[in-house]
Amino acid sequence: MPVPSPAPPAPGSTPPTMRYGAARCDITPPAGTRFGGFWEERPEPALGAHDPLWACALVVEGEDASAAALVSLDLQLISRPAVEEIRARVRAATGIAPERVLVHATHDHAAPGGHWSEAFVPGAGDAFADPPVAEQIVTGAARAVENAWRALTPGSLRCAQGEVAGIGRYRHAPDGPPTSPAAVVRLGPASGRTAAVVASYGCHASVLGPDNLWFSADYPGAVRARLAAAFGAEEALFFNAPAADVSTRHTRRAQTFGEVERLGARLAGELAALGERASPLSVPGVKAQVGEVALALAPAAEADGLYARLRARLPGDRVGLRLQLLALGDLWVLGVEAEVGHALGRDLLAVLRAAGARAAFVVAPAGGSVGNVPSPLFSPDAGLRLVEGARTLAAGVSAPLAHRDGGAGGGEAGR
């Protein structure tokens, strides 16, 4: 049975207000654990940790006491079964419905965490991670959410959106993109102080290369630390936006821990400047929509290299990709179970804004990962299918809860 919820104000005692809570748990695995990133290039296990890996959680509760959780994990990837176990434990501890728990891996190449498709890479196992490590990660993620939920306190939410130059460029075209969408969310008491800050920006977390044998949060960790210091916040979370084709390949000077700090400081400075322009958003309640999009696999004859190996091992001709949309009042967050390209990410963001979101960002990968979209693994219409799926969920979030039946491919969850 769920433990009792932190008590909201008694009816009539004070005006209803949103509440927030943030927390983190150390999920750094022991030395000897394999990395998730650069699997083929780096067969050696980690010697230890240069800096901790974290499970960071934010719980937002609307004025009507409906709640949702956002979880960011310093991992390369996370499997769908591991995400489902995290959600089940969160529900048992807090009562938050699974569909209202968004779980994200920052795609940190200096961290553990494979997923089902990694099984098709020679030498990789079928499991997300060794059972003790997987249990450590799942336990840490669920505990971070529970601690954030227990810390719920009245406050306000502010958000700024914009374009930043950032630190990423197309991996195979150094001249683009010149800017990328970014968002900074600040939460705190009515006094205006920032107690927790959330940042969204898209770039591969691969400043550190395959020759590195130490676990690290890579640049997202440096960004979190500097944003927390900039705003005087106790907690900071980072969510990678669509960046399947964006990395620091053309902006980094080396693949060292010093370069992690330099690029992290550069990006954090731009995000902090953006965050200074944050304006208040209302959170009367929290809504959730989930759905699944069937992506057609490309014919095996059209794939080569790694994609050919992947395609040869995949049964059938379609893969189901899950989408999750959380509407935290005026702030909408779309989670996509894939690594998503930069241009497609912009299309998804445009769908949310066109549907009425005052503020929005896209998280990818979230809930697991079926691979890169677009890519030679899928048919050319994969991106269009994702956009259509996002539009369906956005329409569901926009509709009045009392009259919603879920519609084709999606449904309201955890009312």
Residue 369 has phi, psi (to 5 degrees) of -160, 130
H or E segment and range at residue 150: helix 131-150
Cα distance between residue 61 and residue 20, in whole Å: 6
SS3 for 274?
helix
Assess if residue 87 is contained within a domain. yes
Tell whether 291 and 261 lie within a shared domain.
Answer: no
Assess if residue 10 is contained within a domain. no
Contacts of 106 (CB under 8 A, 6+ apart): 72, 73, 74, 75, 205, 217, 218, 220, 238, 239, 240
Tell whether 378 and 337 lie within a shared domain.
Answer: yes
Assess if residue 6 is contained within a domain. no
Q: What is the per-residue pLDDT across 381-403, written as a single tens digit (0 to 9) for each? A: 999 999 999 999 999 998 664 32
**Which range has the worst mean pLDDT, 56-70, 116-130, 224-238?**
116-130
**How much is the pLDDT for 120?**
36
SS3 for 155?
coil
pLDDT confidence bin for 79, thresholds 50/70/90: confident
Cα distance between residue 290 and residue 408, in whole Å: 11
Parent domain of 296: 286-412
Phi-psi region of 209 (alpha: psi -120 to 50; beta: other; left: phi over 0): beta
Q: Which amino acid is at 304?
A: D
Q: What is the per-residue pLDDT across 178-191, written as a single tens digit (0 to 9) for each? A: 999 999 999 999 88
Domains held by the chain: number: 2
**How much is the pLDDT for 94?**
98
| Mean predicted confidence (pLDDT) in 273-296 | 97
Q: In DSSP terms, which residues pair with 163 in a beta bridge?
A: 181
| Mean predicted confidence (pLDDT) in 41-67 | 96
Q: Domain ends where: 241, 256, 281?
A: 281
Tell whether 328 and 272 lie within a shared domain.
Answer: no
Q: Domain ends where: 262, 281, 300?
A: 281
Tell whether 175 and 78 lie within a shared domain.
Answer: yes
